[in-house]
Amino acid sequence: MASPTFNDELQTAGGYHWLLTNEERQHIAEILEIDESNLAHVSHTPINRSRMTCTQCGKRSGLDDVVQSAHELGVHTSAFMINVLVNGLKANGPVHGMDCSRCGERFDGVFSYSFCD
C-alpha cells in the first residue's frame, strides 16, 4: 500500500483518533474563546473517518476545522463543545459537513465525533 503516512492520527479497531496538534489546540481555544490550558489534557479525538487534506491549501483536516464549522453552522453551542472536549462524549455526536478553517474550502463528506472507546 503506497499511501502517504502522516503521524497525526491513530487507527484503532473502533475507528480513527485524530491526534491534537499544538497548533490545533491553540486554534480551538481561539474559536471557543477559552484559555488553551483548558484543553491541555486533550491529546486525541475519536472521529468517524480518517483525516483529509484540503484540496485548496493543503491543510490537514483537524479538530479545529470540526469545531470552527460546528461553531459557524450553529450545530453546537460553544458550551457543548467545550464540555465534549474537556469531558469527552458519551454518545455519537451529530454528523455535519466541514469547511477548511484556513481557506474555507469544503472537505468532502461529513464528519462526526465517534464514541468508540
CB of 55 to Zn ion, least distance (A): 8
Residue partners of 100: CB distance under 8 A and separation at least 6: 54, 56, 57, 59, 61, 65, 106, 107
CB of 62 to Zn ion, least distance (A): 11
CB of 100 to Zn ion, least distance (A): 3
Q: Does 56 bind Zn ion (CB under 5 A)?
A: yes
Residues 2-41, one symbol each (x = binds Zn ion by CB under 5 A, - = not), give: ----------------------------------------
**What's the rounded Cα separation, in Å, for the pair 27 and 76?**
17
Q: Rounded to 5 degrees, what angle do the CA atoms 104, 67, 103 make?
A: 15
Q: Does 57 bind Zn ion (CB under 5 A)?
A: yes
Binding site for Zn ion (CB under 5 A): 54, 56-57, 59, 100, 102-103, 105
